[in-house]
């Protein structure tokens, strides 16, 4: 049977073949009853999605099958997760309800599916749907971690098949993935998945950089492999002589990791020295794996000189996500530093597959759940379920990528805290009451303040006082989500009490002047006294910072008609008005044309030029800002507030000067500044706004601002600079802090 050129019978066979592939990868992990449950879930999903197709044109059912396969093959999850993966979009996208799922598959599957089902996208200008959905998913983390793992598998398959989406959609999904899901995979110990997500994000967000690094990795592969063979040969011979069962792998650094290092160190690809690491995996029993790893370390350092500052012992003190390994960096005979990772097969399974592999070893002596502490931190965040979803996401993300330090209580108990943690973080880590009453601490018997940063090995004794109260200043001292949340809760309670007192004062004053206590009149007071909210108004009144006798000078306090008429005269710049006038899925802002009488301007953080790939961001009060898609702020804006982003393109014939910023790095030489300014002077229609140069140890760095017409115009100027002798690198220069828009600042890092 065929429909519009589609061979349905052939498709049906291909779908069954894909399902059989899923069964093959999970055959060793399921009972007959579980197999029947998986087949039943497949049948339900096929029927529910039968009329649905993906953007690529293929039947939609391929997606849940692929997600289920990732769960089974790459995460080693069991039958329940496979069933949930097959059904994960049915409640959201089809006629199937949660009640149907519970009746067919039980309460556990229904609970997981509920956690995976997105919140309906009812528009609210103050809500980020992405943040709300992420928050809802995380709410389930302390009940069933499989929700998060299946969601990561879902996101991974979406990223693998992103090519079929529109460019603006690709950028939004990649930004959201890079901002939230890759760090989450890292925190759960899913190193392989985290790396692939980051690489796919870079591929779509900065394809030029991705292709350049990938090409260079391929061209240097043969040289790298020869070097590795020579490096590992003496180690392999020695380990065989000692009688060890082992495997040696060479892991090349990921494309995204190389790109991050190039950016953070401001170096080209050729200067990234740690392009790969050598991994020695021992097949040894758990009882002696630690001592065996140290013996192998001794063998390695017999041949190569170690760097004492680069020894990392995550065997004695594993990381919070369960990662265990011994890392050292040694000098090769060719004068190159090489990282060597030493671990057992058990440790390698946990390092590669994270949480799922960790649970495979939970019966062993070292198998205590190392995620309990992290889940405890998440529970702390969830104590304020009505908190703003974006605040929740920001606090949650704080703890995803942090490295750890190990500190001790006065009794010698070990506590794990993120790098940068202070004595106040430590106090809240012990107990909330101790944190709220903390006035200082003794670190290694020396008195230190609340803001003192702790280091590995510190022994900390907290000093408390019943008279102590938390202040806003405390939020600057802490880095852990737990401490921030507890301080905010305490401050909010205190603010609420003060605001209640202020509200009573306003009520009494209104009665004195015979004014109705209604929302419209409170809004007039907010505007008159220039405060951002009613709560802030009440607090300032309670603290005596506002003189309510001035109420008599407000002519329209009893009625709002005159004020409302004035508002209607203002230009359309607020986000609510803009959203009423545009369809973000269809409308495209053409830069150079009038756009629905809506103001738009260029973001100063990235100074877009005609020819740049751009998008529009709807601000709260400044109309639409145009950003480059590779702007330093783009990832945050697209991931947190994708619903406020719209497509934009340049009007082809527009000819207008724009500011462009360039950074030039090279070898310092007499006359280099003069040569650069001469190029600018002789370049047709290029005018200079500013220029500054710094020189250090024979290297110069210049920052130039010029006026150009478009990206092609700028590229011609860059090409001239690159040809100049001594110049090593020329790049666009963006600064996040340049963008002063008040409402956008709330959404930037």
In the numeric block, the tokens 């001292």 are attached to 477
Residue whose tokens read 């500011």: 659
Res 323: pLDDT: 82
**Does residue 747 surpass a pLDDT of 80?**
no
pTM: 0.66
Q: In this predicted structure, which of 182-191, 328-337, 580-589 has the lowest mean pLDDT?
A: 580-589
Q: Which residue has better confidence, 567 or 279? A: 279
pLDDT at residue 369 above 70?
Answer: no
Q: In this model, does residue 399 exceed pLDDT 70?
A: no
pLDDT above 90 coverage of the chain, percent: 26
Q: Choose between 141 and 596: higher pLDDT.
A: 596
Copy the structure tokens of residue 347. Answer: 């440790």
Angle separating helix axes 79-87 and 32-48, nearest 10 degrees:
10
Question: Does residue 578 or residue 546 have the better pLDDT?
Answer: 546
Phi/psi for 693 (5° steps) reads -135, 140
* Strand stretches in 100-209, DSSP E: none
Buried b (16+ CB within 10 A) or exposed e, 392-413: bbbbbbbbbebebbebeeeeee
Band (pLDDT 50/70/90 cuts) for residue 562 is very low
Alpha-carbon span 582 to 181, nearest angstrom: 30
The neighbour count for residue 40, using CB atoms within 10 Å, is: 15
Answer for the pair 674, 215: CB distance below 8 angstroms, yes or no: no
What are 131's two structure tokens? 């943040």
Residue 655 in contact with residue 627, Cβ under 8 Å? no
DSSP string, 719-744: HHHHTSTTEEEEEE---GGG---HHH
Give the residue from 215, 193, 192, 211 showing the smallest Cα distance to 202. 211
Residue 428 parent element (H or E): helix 423-430
Distance CA 744, CA 423 (A): 33
Across 240-244, 296-300, 383-387, 448-452, least confident range: 383-387
Q: Are 574 and 533 in contact (CB under 8 A)?
A: no
The arithmetic mean of pLDDT across residues 74-99, rounded, is 89
Q: Could you give the CA distance from residue 527 to residue 228 in angstroms, rounded to a whole number?
A: 69
Of the spans 287-301, 368-382, 509-523, which averages the highest pLDDT? 287-301
Q: What is the mean pLDDT of residues 330-340?
A: 88
pLDDT tens sequence across 148-175: 889 899 999 999 999 888 888 888 889 8
Residue 510 · residue 516 · CB < 8 Å: yes
Element counts in the chain: helices (H) and strands (E): 31, 22
| The CATH number of the domain covering residues in 2-188 | 1.10.3210.10
| Secondary structure of residue 69 in the 3-state scheme | helix
Q: At what angle do helices 191-205 and 207-219 cross, to 10 degrees?
A: 120
Q: Is 92 a catalytic residue?
A: yes
Give mean pLDDT, residues 437-465: 88
Q: Which stretch of 28-32, 72-76, 166-170, 626-630 has the lowest confidence by average pLDDT?
A: 28-32
- On the question of pLDDT at 600 being above 60, the answer is yes
Structure-token pair, residue 283? 């097949």
Q: Which DSSP symbol is given to 441?
A: E
- The whole-number average pLDDT for the span 133-138 is 62
292 is catalytic: no
Q: Are strands 337-344 and 404-408 parallel, antiparallel or unpaired?
A: unpaired
Asked which of 19-33, 303-317, 466-480, 546-560 is least confident by mean pLDDT, the reply is 546-560
The structural domains of the chain, with segments of one domain joined by +, span: 2-188, 213-360, 402-468, 489-569, 575-649, 658-738
Q: Which of 227-231, 345-349, 514-518 has the lowest mean pLDDT?
A: 514-518
β-bridge pairing 624-628 and 600-602: parallel
**CATH domain 658-738 topology:** Alpha-Beta Plaits (3.30.70)
Q: Sign of torsion, CA 426 431 432 437?
A: negative
C-alpha–C-alpha distance, residues 86 and 170, integer Å: 24
Per-chain mean pLDDT for the chain: 81
**Distance from C-alpha of 665 to C-alpha of 252, rounded to nearest angstrom:** 28
Rounded to 5°, the CA angle 136-139-145 comes to 110
The single residue of 58, 93, 274, 657 carrying the catalytic annotation is 93
Q: For the chain, what percent of residues have pLDDT higher than 70?
A: 82
DSSP code string of 485-545: HHHHHHHHHHHHHHHHHHHHHHHHHHHHTT----HHHHHHHHHHHT-SSHHHHHHHHHTT-
pLDDT > 60? residue 739:
no
Give 563-573 pLDDT, tens digit per residue. 333 333 345 56
User: Which residue among 43, 47, 92, 163 is the active-site one?
Assistant: 92
For the stretch 17-64, pLDDT in tens is: 999 998 888 776 678 899 999 999 999 999 999 888 888 888 999 999
Q: Taking residues 346-373, report their average pLDDT.
A: 58
Distance CA 628, CA 642 (A): 15
Residue 550 is given by DSSP the state G
Equal CATH topology for 2-188 and 658-738: no
Q: What is the CATH number of domain 402-468?
A: 3.10.20.30
Q: Determine the straight-line distance between the first and last CA of the chain, rounded to whole angstroms.
A: 55
Between 392 and 226, residue with greater pLDDT: 226
pLDDT at 733: 82
The answer to whether 338 and 370 have CB atoms below 8 angstroms apart is: no
The pLDDT value recorded for residue 407 is: 86
Helix or strand holding residue 104 (H, E): helix 98-105
Query: Considering the domain 213-360 in this protein, what is its CATH number?
Result: 3.30.460.10
* pLDDT surpassing 80 at residue 602: yes
Q: Rounded to whole angstroms, how far apart are CA atoms 425 and 444?
A: 17
Inform me whether the pLDDT recorded for 738 exceeds 70: no
Which one of 305-309, 371-375, 668-672 scores highest in mean pLDDT?
Answer: 305-309
């Amino acid at each position: 049977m065929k429909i519009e050129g589609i061979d349905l019978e052939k498709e049906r066979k291909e779908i069954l073949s894909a399902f059989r592939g899923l069964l093959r990868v999970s055959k060793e992990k399921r009972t007959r009853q579980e197999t029947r449950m998986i087949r039943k879930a497949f049948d339900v999903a096929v029927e529910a999605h039968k009329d649905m197709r993906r953007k690529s044109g293929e039947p939609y059912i391929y997606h849940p099958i692929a997600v289920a396969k990732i769960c089974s093959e790459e995460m080693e999850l069991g039958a329940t997760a496979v069933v949930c993966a097959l059904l994960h979009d049915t409640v959201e996208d089809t006629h199937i309800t949660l009640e149907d799922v519970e009746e067919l598959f039980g309460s556990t599957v229904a609970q997981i599916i509920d956690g995976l089902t997105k919140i309906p996208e009812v528009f609210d200008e103050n809500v980020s749907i992405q943040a709300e959905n992420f928050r809802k998913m995380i709410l389930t983390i302390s009940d069933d971690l499989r929700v998060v793992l299946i969601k990561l598998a879902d996101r991974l398959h979406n990223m693998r098949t992103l090519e079929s989406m529109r460019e603006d959609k690709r950028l939004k999904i990649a930004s959201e993935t890079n901002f939230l899901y890759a760090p989450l995979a890292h925190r759960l110990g899913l190193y392989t998945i985290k790396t692939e997500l980051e690489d796919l994000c870079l591929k779509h967000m900065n394809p030029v950089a991705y292709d350049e690094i990938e090409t260079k990795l391929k061209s240097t592969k043969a040289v790298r492999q020869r070097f590795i063979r020579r490096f590992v040969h003496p180690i392999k011979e020695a380990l065989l002589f000692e009688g060890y069962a082992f495997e040696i792998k060479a892991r090349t650094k990921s494309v995204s990791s190389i790109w991050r290092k190039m950016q953070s160190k401001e170096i080209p690809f050729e200067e990234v020295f740690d392009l790969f690491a050598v991994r020695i995996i021992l097949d040894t029993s758990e009882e002696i794996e630690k001592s065996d790893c140290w013996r192998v370390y001794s063998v390695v350092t017999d041949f190569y000189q170690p760097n004492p500052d680069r020894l990392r012992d995550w065997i004695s003190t594993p990381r919070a996500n369960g990662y265990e390994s011994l890392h050292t960096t040694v000098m090769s005979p060719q004068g190159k530093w090489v990282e060597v990772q030493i671990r057992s097969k058990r440790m390698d399974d946990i390092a590669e597959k994270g949480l799922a592999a960790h649970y495979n070893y939970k019966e062993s002596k070292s198998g205590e759940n190392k995620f309990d502490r992290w889940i405890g931190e998440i529970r702390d965040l969830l104590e304020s379920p009505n908190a703003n979803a974006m605040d929740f996401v920001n606090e949650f993300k704080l703890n995803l990528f942090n490295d750890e330090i190990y500190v001790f209580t006065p009794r010698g108990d070990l506590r794990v805290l993120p790098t940068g943690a202070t004595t106040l973080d430590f106090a809240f880590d012990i107990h909330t009451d101790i944190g709220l009453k903390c006035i200082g601490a003794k670190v290694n018997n020396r008195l230190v303040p609340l803001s003192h940063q702790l280091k590995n090995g510190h022994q900390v004794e907290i000093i408390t006082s019943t008279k102590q109260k938390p202040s806003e200043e405390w939020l600057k001292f802490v880095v852990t989500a737990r401490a921030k949340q507890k301080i905010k809760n305490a401050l909010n309670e205190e603010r609420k009490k003060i605001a209640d007192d202020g509200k009573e004062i306003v009520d009494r004053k209104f009665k004195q002047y015979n004014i109705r206590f209604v929302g419209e009149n409170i809004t007039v007071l907010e505007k008159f006294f220039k405060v951002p909210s009613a709560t802030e108004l009440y607090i300032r009144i309670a603290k005596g910072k506002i003189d309510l006798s001035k109420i008599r000078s407000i002519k329209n306090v009893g009625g709002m008609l005159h004020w409302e008429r004035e508002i209607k005269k203002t230009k359309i710049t607020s986000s609510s008005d803009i959203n009423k006038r545009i369809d973000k899925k269809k409308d495209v802002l053409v830069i150079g044309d009038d756009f629905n009488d809506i103001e738009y301007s260029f973001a100063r953080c990235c100074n877009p030029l005609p020819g740049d790939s751009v998008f529009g961001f709807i601000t709260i009060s400044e109309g639409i800002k145009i950003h480059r898609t590779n702007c330093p702020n783009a990832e945050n804006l697209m991931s947190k507030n994708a619903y406020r982003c719209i497509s934009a393109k340049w009007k082809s014939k527009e000819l207008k000067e724009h500011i462009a910023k360039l950074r030039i790095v090279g070898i310092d030489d007499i006359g280099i500044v003069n040569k650069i300014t001469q190029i600018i002077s002789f370049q047709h229609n290029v005018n200079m706004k500013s220029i500054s140069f710094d020189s250090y140890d024979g290297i110069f760095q210049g920052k130039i601002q010029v006026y150009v017409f478009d990206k092609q115009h700028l590229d011609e100027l860059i090409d001239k600079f690159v040809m100049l002798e001594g110049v090593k690198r020329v790049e666009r220069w963006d600064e996040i802090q340049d963008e002063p828009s008040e409402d956008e600042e709330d959404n930037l890092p």
